[in-house]
C-alpha cells in the first residue's frame, strides 16, 4: 500500500478487544471506516467475518488487517508487534479471498441471497434425517444423500466447520471447493468430493415438509428451504492482509501437520 494510505480502526465490543484498542487509538491518525483505504480489525475470527460481510452488504470493499484479540484468530495477525501498526499494514502481504454466493428458495417460494466466506451448510431442522439430491453443473451426481446435512467450503473456510466434519483442507489458490457430508447415513461411507470452483452446486430437499432443512451462509440462516444453489462470487473478491511469513496460506499448511 502507498505511504499515504488512510486507516480506520474497527473494534469488537468484547472487553479484551476494547482494552487492546486503547493502546492503538493514539498510535495513528485514524479516519472513519467509509473514508479508509484499509481497515484494522481488532477481535476474533467471528468479528472479522462480521466486518467482511458488512463490507459486502454495503458494496465498499477495502483490504482488511486483523489483529487477534479473540480466541482462535485464524484470519488474524498476532496482537503484539515490534513495529508501529501503520508500518505493519504497509508491509503486509495481500491474500485474495473469494466468497460463495448462496441462492436459496424456501418451500413457500421466497428467494434469499447471501454470501459466505467460510462455507454454506445445509442442516436438518428436526430429528428427521435430511434427504438431499445433489447436482453439480445441472447434472445429478447423487440422487439421495441422507444424513444431518452437507456443506460447501472455500479454501479459506476449509479449516473451520469443514475440517471438524472431516472434510479436506484446501490450499489457497487451488481453485477448488470442498463438498463435505455431515454425519451421512446413506451412502454411509461417502466422504464427500473436491470440486473446481467454477462448478455450481445445487441441493434439492426431498420431502421438505416432513424433513425440514435450513441453509446457512456463514452467519445468515434461511429455514425451510426447498432448493439451494451455490457458486463462487468472483465479482466480490475480498483482500486480507497478513504479516510477512504469517500468511493464511502458511496457517493452512501448518494446520495439516498438527498432531
Tell me the CATH number for domain 7-98+237-256: 3.40.50.10330
Q: What is the pLDDT of residues 139-191, one digit of tens each?
A: 999 999 999 999 999 998 998 999 999 999 998 888 999 999 999 999 988 99
The pLDDT tens digits for 208-243 are 999 999 999 998 999 999 999 999 999 999 999 999
Using 50, 70 and 90 to split pLDDT, how confident is the model at 71?
confident
- Catalytic-labelled residue, pool 13, 45, 197, 209: 45
- Three-point CA angle 223, 228, 229, nearest 5°: 150
Fold of 100-233: Tumour Suppressor Smad4 (2.60.200)
Is the Cα dihedral 16, 22, 24, 30 positive or negative? Answer: positive
46 annotated to bind ligand: yes
pTM of the predicted model as reported, rounded to 2 decimal places: 0.86
User: Any idea where the domains of the chain sit in the sequence?
Assistant: 7-98+237-256, 100-233
User: pLDDT digit string (tens) for 89-147?
Assistant: 999 999 899 999 999 999 999 999 999 999 999 999 999 999 999 999 999 999 999 99
Q: How far apart are alpha carbons 188 and 92 in whole angstroms?
A: 45
Q: What is the pLDDT of residue 116?
A: 97
Mean pLDDT of 54-78: 90
The SS3 of residue 181 is: strand
Position 42 pLDDT exceeds 90: yes
Question: What is the structure's pLDDT at 219?
Answer: 87
Residue 245's pLDDT band (cuts 50, 70, 90): confident
pLDDT for 247: 59
pLDDT(32) > 70: yes
Is 159 assigned a ligand-binding role in the annotation? Answer: yes
What is the rounded average pLDDT for all residues in the chain?
92
Distance, CA of 43 to CA of 13 (rounded, Å): 8
Mean pLDDT of 183-210: 95
For the question of residue 243 being annotated catalytic, the response is no
CA distance 39 to 62: 7
Angle at 185 between CA 180 and CA 190, to 5 degrees: 45
Q: Residue 50 annotated as binding?
A: yes
Amino acid at each position: 500500500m502507498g505511504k499515504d494510505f488512510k486507516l480506520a480502526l474497527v473494534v469488537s465490543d468484547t472487553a479484551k478487544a476494547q482494552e487492546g484498542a486503547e493502546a492503538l487509538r493514539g498510535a495513528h491518525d485514524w479516519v472513519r471506516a467509509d473514508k479508509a483505504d484499509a481497515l484494522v480489525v481488532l477481535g476474533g475470527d467471528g468479528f472479522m467475518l462480521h466486518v467482511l460481510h458488512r463490507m459486502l452488504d454495503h458494496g465498499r470493499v477495502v483490504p482488511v488487517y486483523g489483529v487477534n484479540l479473540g480466541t482462535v484468530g485464524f484470519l488474524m495477525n498476532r496482537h503484539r508487534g515490534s513495529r508501529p501498526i501503520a508500518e505493519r499494514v504497509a508491509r503486509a502481504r495481500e491474500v485474495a479471498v473469494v466468497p460463495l454466493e448462496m441462492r436459496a428458495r424456501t418451500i413457500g417460494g421466497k428467494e434469499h441471497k447471501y454470501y459466505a466466506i467460510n462455507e454454506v451448510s445445509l442442516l436438518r431442522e428436526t430429528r428427521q434425517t435430511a434427504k438431499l439430491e445433489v447436482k453439480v453443473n445441472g447434472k445429478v451426481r447423487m440422487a439421495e444423500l441422507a444424513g444431518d446435512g452437507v456443506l460447501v467450503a472455500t479454501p479459506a473456510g476449509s479449516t473451520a466447520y469443514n475440517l471438524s466434519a472431516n472434510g479436506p483442507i484446501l490450499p489457497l489458490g487451488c481453485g477448488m471447493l470442498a463438498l463435505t457430508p455431515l454425519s451421512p447415513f446413506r451412502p454411509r461411507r461417502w466422504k464427500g468430493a473436491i470440486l473446481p470452483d467454477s462448478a455450481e452446486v445445487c441441493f434439492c430437499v426431498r420431502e421438505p415438509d416432513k424433513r425440514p432443512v435450513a441453509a446457512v451462509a456463514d452467519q445468515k440462516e434461511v429455514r425451510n428451504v426447498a432448493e439451494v444453489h451455490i457458486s463462487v462470487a468472483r465479482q466480490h473478491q475480498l483482500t486480507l492482509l497478513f504479516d510477512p511469513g504469517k500468511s493464511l496460506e502458511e496457517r493452512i499448511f501448518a494446520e495439516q501437520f498438527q498432531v
